[in-house]
Amino acid sequence: MFNEVAMYVLSAIILALGAVSLFTQKVSTIDKETGAETTVELPFFGKLKTNIPALAFVFIGAGLAAFTYGKASALTDQWVINGQFTAPESGAIDWGKGSLLLAPSMLKSAISPDGTFEIQGSIRRGLEFEDVVDQISYGNACEGIYTIRIMPKQEYDNHKAGKPSNLENAGSRMRVYRPLPVISIQKVQQ
């Protein structure tokens, strides 16, 4: 983050030097073919006599700022989210036969045979996990219907406010959820 700010400050200084130089210097360029002074017409400023070094500062400063923005917006951080689902007292669940889904699904998710789950992936720097994932849900309809839904933003807000939350730990690029029991829904007999 510090490097990006430093590059933006450097870009601003170069742009300011170029702008000051452009407006204060009286050096102009003569077209070799026609012998006339070269002028540039800019919106809001009208016609200006060119000053190649000053224009170079302006373009270098703008280019440096654009380059920094492009690099900074492409930076990502690696996130890891862990948790565990527990079976209801009515019996065991074959966790592998169910589906762990994210909405939207831009990160990789997996669930282990013991019900622990892990979500991994790259998130653009400056964003939190809760900014990109609205919901985590698990569903299994093999030997009954089992389901659970986690709303990450709500859980994170509750955790930060000291309210009851299923979020056990919230680090800078990680989240750990408490063991959560799935809900058993009876299948309708036909």
pLDDT of res. 188: 47
Task: For residues 89 and 178, state if they share a domain.
Answer: yes
Per-residue model confidence as pLDDT tens for the chain (190 residues): 577 778 788 888 877 877 776 666 655 566 677 767 666 665 665 666 656 556 666 777 788 778 777 776 667 888 999 999 998 887 788 888 888 988 877 899 999 999 999 999 988 888 899 999 999 999 988 767 889 999 999 999 999 999 999 999 999 899 999 999 998 886 544 4
E runs forming strands in 112-144: 116-124, 135-140
Count how many domains the chain has. Answer: 2
Task: For residues 40 and 127, state if they share a domain.
Answer: no
pTM score, two decimals?
Answer: 0.60
Q: From CA 114, how far away is CA 85, in angstroms rounded?
A: 8
Which of 27, 58, 74 is where one domain is finished? 74
Task: For residues 131 and 173, state if they share a domain.
Answer: yes
Q: From CA 63, how far away is CA 76, in angstroms rounded?
A: 22
What token pair was written down for 160? 């930060």
Task: For residues 88 and 152, state if they share a domain.
Answer: yes
Show the domain range for 37: 2-74
Determine contact, residues 64/14, Cβ cutoff 8 Å.
yes
